[in-house]
Amino acid sequence: MSSKIRRASVVSVSKLSTSIDKAIASALKRHEVGASARNLLGRGDILGRVLRTANVVDAFKFAEDVAAKVNQFKGIDATPALTRIPGGILAGFIDRSQSLRQIGGG
């Protein structure tokens, strides 16, 4: 029985953070929405920015743009995501390559 070995891709935190900042800056210009100054990790899985001036449709378009740019990184499977929070909408992405975790035995 042959077994294929797959090596994990590693992206440095600083390189990923810089790329996320660039993706968000690009989406902010394109959609002309007001956003928080820093990236946030909400609910433990959505990474993005709080949009204060956007409706849900605009926020989702923003999230789609961010996810598309972040997906250019090997090893990242970004899916657009939103959640309403006090003060606005957290719009960004979930990294699906990291989001599934086994809980419990089985």
Instruction: Report if pTM > 0.85.
Output: no
Could you give the CA distance from residue 36 to residue 41 in angstroms, rounded to a whole number? 12
Instruction: Tell me: pLDDT of 9 over 60.
Output: no
Q: How crowded is residue 3: how many other Cβ atoms within 10 Å of its Cβ? A: 5
User: Helical H runs in the chain?
Assistant: 13-31, 56-70, 96-99
Considering the chain, what percentage of its residues have pLDDT values greater than 70?
Answer: 67
Give the pLDDT confidence score for residue 47 in this predicted structure.
Answer: 82
Where along the chain do its domains lie? 37-99
The CA-CA-CA angle for residues 22, 71, 54, to 5°, reads 60
Rounded mean pLDDT, 54-67: 89
Instruction: Tell me: pLDDT of 103 over 80.
Output: no
